[in-house]
Amino acid sequence: MFGSLVPPTSALVTGASGFVGRSLLRALRASGVNASGAFREAVDTEWGVSAPSLGPHADWTTLVAGNEVVIHAAGRAHIREETKTDVLREFRYVNTEGTRRLAEDSAAVGVKRFLFISSIGVNGDSNNRPFTESDEPSPQEAYAISKYEAEIALWKVGTRTGMEIVIVRPPLVYGPRAPGNFGRLMAAVARGIPLPLGGVTNNRRTLVGLDNLIDLLGVCTTHPAAANQLFLAGDDEAVSTAKLIRRLAEAMQVSVRLVPVPLPLLEFAGSIVGRRAMINRLCGSLEVDSSKARRLLAWSPPLGLEEGLAKAVQGVRGRRRDSTKASAQ
Protein backbone atom coordinates (compact mmCIF):
# COMPACT_ATOMS: atom_id res chain seq x y z
CA MET A 1 0.00 0.00 0.00
CA PHE A 2 2.82 2.41 0.80
CA GLY A 3 5.59 0.93 -1.33
CA SER A 4 8.92 2.39 -0.19
CA LEU A 5 7.19 5.17 1.74
CA VAL A 6 7.15 5.22 5.53
CA PRO A 7 3.53 4.89 6.69
CA PRO A 8 2.12 7.30 9.27
CA THR A 9 2.34 6.15 12.88
CA SER A 10 -1.31 6.87 13.59
CA ALA A 11 -4.41 7.82 11.63
CA LEU A 12 -8.13 8.38 12.14
CA VAL A 13 -10.58 7.43 9.39
CA THR A 14 -14.03 9.01 9.51
CA GLY A 15 -16.92 7.19 7.86
CA ALA A 16 -15.29 3.90 8.81
CA SER A 17 -18.50 1.94 8.30
CA GLY A 18 -18.87 3.17 4.72
CA PHE A 19 -17.90 1.51 1.47
CA VAL A 20 -14.56 3.32 1.11
CA GLY A 21 -13.81 4.07 4.77
CA ARG A 22 -14.22 0.46 5.87
CA SER A 23 -11.77 -0.87 3.29
CA LEU A 24 -9.30 1.97 3.87
CA LEU A 25 -9.25 1.32 7.61
CA ARG A 26 -8.53 -2.37 7.07
CA ALA A 27 -5.76 -1.59 4.59
CA LEU A 28 -4.10 0.91 6.92
CA ARG A 29 -4.12 -1.50 9.83
CA ALA A 30 -2.82 -4.32 7.61
CA SER A 31 0.08 -2.01 6.70
CA GLY A 32 1.03 -1.56 10.33
CA VAL A 33 -0.57 1.84 10.90
CA ASN A 34 -2.13 2.44 14.29
CA ALA A 35 -5.40 3.41 12.63
CA SER A 36 -8.76 3.87 14.28
CA GLY A 37 -12.16 4.33 12.70
CA ALA A 38 -14.81 6.85 13.64
CA PHE A 39 -18.23 5.18 13.66
CA ARG A 40 -21.64 6.78 14.05
CA GLU A 41 -23.28 3.51 15.08
CA ALA A 42 -22.29 1.17 17.91
CA VAL A 43 -18.59 0.37 17.92
CA ASP A 44 -17.82 -3.35 18.04
CA THR A 45 -14.05 -3.30 17.45
CA GLU A 46 -11.17 -2.38 19.73
CA TRP A 47 -9.93 0.13 17.16
CA GLY A 48 -13.24 1.91 16.64
CA VAL A 49 -14.38 5.12 18.32
CA SER A 50 -17.83 6.69 18.57
CA ALA A 51 -18.03 9.80 16.41
CA PRO A 52 -20.22 12.87 16.79
CA SER A 53 -22.65 13.89 14.08
CA LEU A 54 -20.91 15.90 11.37
CA GLY A 55 -21.81 19.54 11.62
CA PRO A 56 -20.49 22.95 12.68
CA HIS A 57 -21.02 22.26 16.39
CA ALA A 58 -19.33 18.84 16.68
CA ASP A 59 -16.31 18.52 18.95
CA TRP A 60 -13.63 16.27 17.47
CA THR A 61 -10.61 17.34 19.53
CA THR A 62 -10.49 14.27 21.77
CA LEU A 63 -10.87 11.83 18.86
CA VAL A 64 -8.30 13.41 16.56
CA ALA A 65 -5.70 14.20 19.24
CA GLY A 66 -2.56 12.10 18.91
CA ASN A 67 -3.12 11.24 15.24
CA GLU A 68 -0.62 12.15 12.58
CA VAL A 69 -3.19 11.95 9.78
CA VAL A 70 -6.96 12.38 9.60
CA ILE A 71 -8.68 10.85 6.56
CA HIS A 72 -12.16 12.23 6.08
CA ALA A 73 -14.33 9.69 4.26
CA ALA A 74 -17.61 10.53 6.00
CA GLY A 75 -20.30 12.72 4.53
CA ARG A 76 -23.88 12.97 3.44
CA ALA A 77 -24.60 11.67 -0.05
CA HIS A 78 -28.42 11.48 -0.20
CA ILE A 79 -31.31 13.62 0.99
CA ARG A 80 -34.97 12.85 0.36
CA GLU A 81 -38.28 14.64 0.66
CA GLU A 82 -36.97 18.18 0.96
CA THR A 83 -37.18 21.17 -1.32
CA LYS A 84 -34.22 21.96 -3.54
CA THR A 85 -33.16 24.84 -1.27
CA ASP A 86 -33.34 22.63 1.80
CA VAL A 87 -31.27 19.94 0.09
CA LEU A 88 -28.35 22.30 -0.48
CA ARG A 89 -28.61 23.63 3.07
CA GLU A 90 -28.54 20.11 4.53
CA PHE A 91 -25.60 19.08 2.38
CA ARG A 92 -23.71 22.19 3.42
CA TYR A 93 -24.40 21.57 7.10
CA VAL A 94 -22.78 18.13 6.98
CA ASN A 95 -20.36 18.14 4.07
CA THR A 96 -19.13 21.74 4.19
CA GLU A 97 -19.50 22.98 7.75
CA GLY A 98 -18.92 19.54 9.25
CA THR A 99 -15.70 19.15 7.28
CA ARG A 100 -14.56 22.63 8.24
CA ARG A 101 -15.09 21.94 11.94
CA LEU A 102 -13.28 18.60 11.77
CA ALA A 103 -10.32 20.26 10.04
CA GLU A 104 -10.17 23.10 12.53
CA ASP A 105 -10.21 20.70 15.47
CA SER A 106 -7.56 18.57 13.78
CA ALA A 107 -5.25 21.53 13.25
CA ALA A 108 -5.80 22.73 16.80
CA VAL A 109 -4.39 19.49 18.28
CA GLY A 110 -1.44 19.19 15.91
CA VAL A 111 -2.62 16.80 13.20
CA LYS A 112 0.01 16.97 10.47
CA ARG A 113 -2.05 16.04 7.39
CA PHE A 114 -5.77 16.13 6.55
CA LEU A 115 -6.84 13.96 3.61
CA PHE A 116 -10.29 14.72 2.20
CA ILE A 117 -12.22 12.41 -0.13
CA SER A 118 -14.19 14.78 -2.34
CA SER A 119 -16.00 14.02 -5.62
CA ILE A 120 -15.35 14.32 -9.35
CA GLY A 121 -18.71 16.08 -9.40
CA VAL A 122 -16.80 19.17 -8.31
CA ASN A 123 -15.38 19.28 -11.85
CA GLY A 124 -18.81 18.75 -13.42
CA ASP A 125 -21.30 16.11 -14.52
CA SER A 126 -19.97 15.43 -18.03
CA ASN A 127 -17.21 16.40 -20.43
CA ASN A 128 -15.93 16.23 -23.98
CA ARG A 129 -12.33 15.82 -22.85
CA PRO A 130 -10.87 14.32 -19.68
CA PHE A 131 -11.11 16.40 -16.52
CA THR A 132 -7.84 17.54 -14.95
CA GLU A 133 -6.94 19.19 -11.67
CA SER A 134 -6.40 22.53 -13.41
CA ASP A 135 -9.96 22.73 -14.78
CA GLU A 136 -12.28 25.39 -13.38
CA PRO A 137 -14.67 23.68 -10.93
CA SER A 138 -18.24 23.43 -12.18
CA PRO A 139 -20.34 21.49 -9.64
CA GLN A 140 -23.91 21.07 -10.85
CA GLU A 141 -25.68 19.23 -8.03
CA ALA A 142 -26.13 20.17 -4.38
CA TYR A 143 -23.90 17.33 -3.17
CA ALA A 144 -21.03 18.39 -5.43
CA ILE A 145 -21.49 22.05 -4.51
CA SER A 146 -21.17 21.18 -0.82
CA LYS A 147 -18.02 19.17 -1.52
CA TYR A 148 -16.47 22.02 -3.48
CA GLU A 149 -17.25 24.48 -0.70
CA ALA A 150 -15.66 22.03 1.75
CA GLU A 151 -12.51 22.04 -0.39
CA ILE A 152 -12.39 25.83 -0.27
CA ALA A 153 -12.80 25.76 3.50
CA LEU A 154 -9.99 23.22 3.85
CA TRP A 155 -7.52 25.27 1.82
CA LYS A 156 -8.26 28.22 4.11
CA VAL A 157 -7.73 26.14 7.25
CA GLY A 158 -4.47 24.78 5.86
CA THR A 159 -3.17 28.21 4.92
CA ARG A 160 -4.03 29.65 8.32
CA THR A 161 -2.72 26.78 10.46
CA GLY A 162 0.00 25.07 8.43
CA MET A 163 -1.76 21.70 8.48
CA GLU A 164 -1.13 19.85 5.21
CA ILE A 165 -4.24 19.41 3.06
CA VAL A 166 -4.64 16.67 0.44
CA ILE A 167 -7.82 16.36 -1.63
CA VAL A 168 -8.75 13.41 -3.83
CA ARG A 169 -11.71 13.55 -6.23
CA PRO A 170 -12.83 10.06 -7.30
CA PRO A 171 -15.43 9.25 -9.96
CA LEU A 172 -17.83 6.34 -9.42
CA VAL A 173 -16.14 3.75 -7.18
CA TYR A 174 -16.81 0.07 -7.85
CA GLY A 175 -15.91 -3.00 -5.87
CA PRO A 176 -17.41 -5.88 -3.88
CA ARG A 177 -20.79 -4.93 -2.39
CA ALA A 178 -20.67 -1.52 -4.03
CA PRO A 179 -23.67 0.64 -3.12
CA GLY A 180 -25.66 3.02 -5.28
CA ASN A 181 -25.91 2.94 -9.05
CA PHE A 182 -23.09 0.46 -9.58
CA GLY A 183 -24.58 -1.99 -7.11
CA ARG A 184 -27.96 -1.73 -8.81
CA LEU A 185 -26.35 -2.24 -12.21
CA MET A 186 -24.56 -5.38 -11.01
CA ALA A 187 -27.80 -6.76 -9.62
CA ALA A 188 -29.65 -6.10 -12.88
CA VAL A 189 -26.96 -7.81 -14.96
CA ALA A 190 -26.86 -10.78 -12.59
CA ARG A 191 -30.63 -11.26 -12.84
CA GLY A 192 -30.59 -11.03 -16.61
CA ILE A 193 -32.88 -8.00 -16.71
CA PRO A 194 -33.05 -6.49 -20.23
CA LEU A 195 -31.25 -3.13 -20.23
CA PRO A 196 -32.08 -0.44 -22.83
CA LEU A 197 -28.45 0.66 -23.11
CA GLY A 198 -27.19 -1.30 -26.09
CA GLY A 199 -26.90 1.88 -28.15
CA VAL A 200 -24.71 3.71 -25.60
CA THR A 201 -21.45 2.80 -27.30
CA ASN A 202 -19.81 6.17 -28.04
CA ASN A 203 -19.54 7.67 -24.57
CA ARG A 204 -16.47 7.28 -22.37
CA ARG A 205 -16.61 7.00 -18.61
CA THR A 206 -13.79 6.65 -16.11
CA LEU A 207 -14.43 4.62 -12.99
CA VAL A 208 -12.08 3.79 -10.15
CA GLY A 209 -11.82 0.37 -8.57
CA LEU A 210 -12.02 0.29 -4.78
CA ASP A 211 -8.56 -1.29 -4.51
CA ASN A 212 -7.10 1.38 -6.78
CA LEU A 213 -8.65 4.21 -4.79
CA ILE A 214 -7.50 2.73 -1.49
CA ASP A 215 -3.98 2.41 -2.87
CA LEU A 216 -3.93 6.06 -3.96
CA LEU A 217 -5.30 7.22 -0.61
CA GLY A 218 -2.61 5.23 1.15
CA VAL A 219 0.09 6.96 -0.87
CA CYS A 220 -1.55 10.34 -0.20
CA THR A 221 -1.41 9.83 3.58
CA THR A 222 2.36 9.89 3.64
CA HIS A 223 4.00 10.98 0.36
CA PRO A 224 5.83 14.31 0.85
CA ALA A 225 4.85 15.50 -2.63
CA ALA A 226 1.15 15.04 -1.86
CA ALA A 227 1.12 17.86 0.68
CA ASN A 228 -1.29 20.65 -0.27
CA GLN A 229 -2.22 19.02 -3.54
CA LEU A 230 -5.41 18.04 -5.36
CA PHE A 231 -5.59 14.73 -7.22
CA LEU A 232 -8.15 13.17 -9.53
CA ALA A 233 -8.46 9.40 -9.17
CA GLY A 234 -9.27 6.94 -11.93
CA ASP A 235 -8.56 3.60 -13.55
CA ASP A 236 -6.32 3.46 -16.60
CA GLU A 237 -9.16 2.54 -18.96
CA ALA A 238 -12.31 4.51 -19.82
CA VAL A 239 -15.20 2.56 -21.32
CA SER A 240 -18.61 3.13 -22.85
CA THR A 241 -21.68 2.19 -20.82
CA ALA A 242 -22.50 -0.71 -23.14
CA LYS A 243 -18.94 -2.02 -22.92
CA LEU A 244 -18.95 -1.77 -19.14
CA ILE A 245 -22.13 -3.82 -18.94
CA ARG A 246 -20.69 -6.46 -21.25
CA ARG A 247 -17.52 -6.60 -19.14
CA LEU A 248 -19.64 -7.04 -16.02
CA ALA A 249 -21.57 -9.89 -17.64
CA GLU A 250 -18.34 -11.59 -18.69
CA ALA A 251 -16.99 -11.31 -15.16
CA MET A 252 -20.20 -12.83 -13.78
CA GLN A 253 -20.25 -15.48 -16.49
CA VAL A 254 -23.83 -14.62 -17.41
CA SER A 255 -25.55 -13.64 -20.63
CA VAL A 256 -26.28 -9.96 -21.05
CA ARG A 257 -29.50 -8.58 -22.56
CA LEU A 258 -28.74 -5.17 -24.04
CA VAL A 259 -31.50 -3.51 -26.07
CA PRO A 260 -30.32 -0.74 -28.48
CA VAL A 261 -32.86 1.98 -27.61
CA PRO A 262 -32.13 5.31 -29.40
CA LEU A 263 -30.60 7.89 -27.06
CA PRO A 264 -33.29 10.58 -27.65
CA LEU A 265 -35.95 8.08 -26.64
CA LEU A 266 -34.00 7.17 -23.51
CA GLU A 267 -33.66 10.84 -22.58
CA PHE A 268 -37.36 11.44 -23.18
CA ALA A 269 -38.34 8.45 -21.05
CA GLY A 270 -35.97 9.61 -18.32
CA SER A 271 -37.58 13.05 -18.22
CA ILE A 272 -41.05 11.53 -18.02
CA VAL A 273 -40.25 9.37 -15.00
CA GLY A 274 -38.03 11.96 -13.29
CA ARG A 275 -34.79 10.09 -14.02
CA ARG A 276 -33.24 12.43 -16.55
CA ALA A 277 -30.11 12.99 -14.45
CA MET A 278 -29.55 9.26 -14.13
CA ILE A 279 -30.01 8.76 -17.88
CA ASN A 280 -27.55 11.56 -18.57
CA ARG A 281 -24.98 9.88 -16.32
CA LEU A 282 -25.45 6.56 -18.09
CA CYS A 283 -25.36 7.99 -21.60
CA GLY A 284 -22.94 10.89 -21.27
CA SER A 285 -19.16 10.95 -21.01
CA LEU A 286 -17.17 11.63 -17.87
CA GLU A 287 -13.51 10.93 -18.40
CA VAL A 288 -10.79 11.63 -15.85
CA ASP A 289 -7.09 12.30 -16.37
CA SER A 290 -5.25 11.04 -13.29
CA SER A 291 -1.76 11.56 -14.70
CA LYS A 292 -0.87 14.10 -12.00
CA ALA A 293 -0.85 11.37 -9.35
CA ARG A 294 1.22 9.17 -11.62
CA ARG A 295 3.71 11.95 -12.28
CA LEU A 296 3.97 13.53 -8.82
CA LEU A 297 3.53 10.45 -6.63
CA ALA A 298 4.87 7.73 -8.96
CA TRP A 299 1.50 6.05 -8.45
CA SER A 300 -0.32 3.79 -10.87
CA PRO A 301 -3.51 1.76 -10.40
CA PRO A 302 -2.52 -1.73 -9.19
CA LEU A 303 -5.53 -3.34 -10.90
CA GLY A 304 -6.80 -3.06 -14.44
CA LEU A 305 -10.51 -2.72 -15.16
CA GLU A 306 -10.96 -6.40 -16.00
CA GLU A 307 -9.33 -7.56 -12.76
CA GLY A 308 -11.18 -4.95 -10.74
CA LEU A 309 -14.56 -6.01 -12.14
CA ALA A 310 -13.73 -9.66 -11.47
CA LYS A 311 -13.18 -8.83 -7.81
CA ALA A 312 -16.28 -6.64 -7.69
CA VAL A 313 -18.64 -9.37 -8.85
CA GLN A 314 -17.32 -12.27 -6.77
CA GLY A 315 -19.98 -11.89 -4.10
CA VAL A 316 -22.77 -11.34 -6.65
CA ARG A 317 -21.70 -14.35 -8.66
CA GLY A 318 -21.51 -16.48 -5.51
CA ARG A 319 -25.01 -15.50 -4.40
CA ARG A 320 -26.39 -16.19 -7.87
CA ARG A 321 -24.88 -19.70 -7.88
CA ASP A 322 -26.31 -20.37 -4.43
CA SER A 323 -29.80 -19.28 -5.46
CA THR A 324 -29.58 -21.42 -8.62
CA LYS A 325 -28.65 -24.50 -6.55
CA ALA A 326 -31.46 -23.82 -4.10
CA SER A 327 -34.07 -23.56 -6.84
CA ALA A 328 -32.89 -26.81 -8.37
CA GLN A 329 -33.31 -28.77 -5.13
Helix (H, G, I), strand (E, B) or coil at 281: helix
Catalytic (active site) residue 143: yes
Helix (H, G, I), strand (E, B) or coil at 69: strand
- Other Cβ atoms within 10 Å of 312 Cβ, number: 25
Quote the CA–CA distance of 324 and 320 in Å, as a whole number.
6
Choice among 93, 143, 148, 174 that is catalytic: 143
- Other Cβ atoms within 10 Å of 272 Cβ, number: 9
| Residues with Cβ within 8 Å of residue 291, at least 6 apart in sequence | none
Of 117, 258, 239, nearest to 196 (Cα)? 258
| Residues with Cβ within 8 Å of residue 178, at least 6 apart in sequence | 19, 186, 210, 312
Chain-centre distance for alpha carbon 258: 27
Reported for 27-32, long-range contacts at CB under 8 A and 24+ positions apart, including other chains, are 27/1, 27/214, 27/218, 28/1, 28/218, 28/221, 30/1, 31/1, 31/2, 31/7, 31/218, 32/7
Rg (CA), the chain: 20
Quote the CA–CA distance of 232 and 290 in Å, as a whole number.
5
Quote the CA–CA distance of 303 and 2 in Å, as a whole number.
15
* Residue 223 Cα distances to 7, 78, 161, 232, angstroms: 9, 32, 20, 16
Q: Which residues are known catalytic residues?
A: 143
